[in-house]
Amino acid sequence: MHLNYHFFKFLCPALKAEILGGTITSCFSQNKEELIIELKKTDGNPFFIRALLLPANTSISFPKDFKRSKKNNVDLFPEIIGEKVTDIQLLNFERAFYICLKDTHALLFKMHGSRSNIVLYKDKEATPYAIFRKELKEDMGLKIQELEKSLELTEARFKELKGNASQFLPTLGKLPRAWLKEAGYLEADINTRYKLMVEIMDLLDSPFFSILHKNDNYFLTLLPCSSSIASTTDPLEACNIYFQKAVVRKNFENVKNQLLRNLLDRRKKTVNYINKTSQKLEEMENDSPPSQTADIIMANLHQIPNGAEKVSLFDFYTNETREITLKRGQSPQKFAEQLYKKSKNKKIEFEQLRKNLAQKEKDLKEIAKEEEVLNQSEDFKSIKSLIKSENRSSKNQAQLQLPYKRFETEGFEIWVGKSAKANDELLRRYTWKDDLWLHAKDVAGSHVIIKTQSGMTPTKSVLERAAALAAHYSKNKTSSLAAVMYTPCKYVRKVKGSPPGAVMVDREKVILIKPEGPEEI
pLDDT, greater one: 394 or 157: 157
pLDDT at 402: 84
How far, CA to CA in Å, does 51 sit from each of 38, 63, 118, 230, 358? 12, 11, 8, 21, 52
Confidence of residue 2 (pLDDT cuts 50, 70, 90): low
pLDDT tens digits for range 313-348: 998 999 999 999 998 888 999 999 999 988 888 888
pLDDT tens digits for range 342-400: 888 888 888 988 998 999 999 999 999 989 988 888 888 888 777 777 666 655 554 55
pLDDT at 149 over 50: yes
How far, CA to CA in Å, does 397 sit from each of 278, 304, 310, 367? 25, 53, 48, 17
pLDDT at 329: 85
pLDDT tens digits for range 428-451: 888 989 899 999 999 999 999 999
Confidence of residue 189 (pLDDT cuts 50, 70, 90): very high
In Å, the largest CA–CA distance within the chain is 115
pLDDT at 62: 96
Side chain identity, residue 460: K
- The answer to which of 74-78, 325-329, 502-506 has the lowest mean pLDDT is 325-329
The full set of domain ranges for the chain reads 5-147, 155-249, 250-400, 404-513
How far, CA to CA in Å, does 315 sit from each of 285, 296, 473? 19, 6, 35
The correct answer on CATH 1.10.540 for the domain covering 250-400 is no
Task: Select the CATH number that applies to the domain covering 5-147 from these four: 1.10.300.10, 2.30.310.10, 3.40.50.1000, 3.40.50.10420.
Answer: 2.30.310.10
pLDDT at 95 over 70: yes
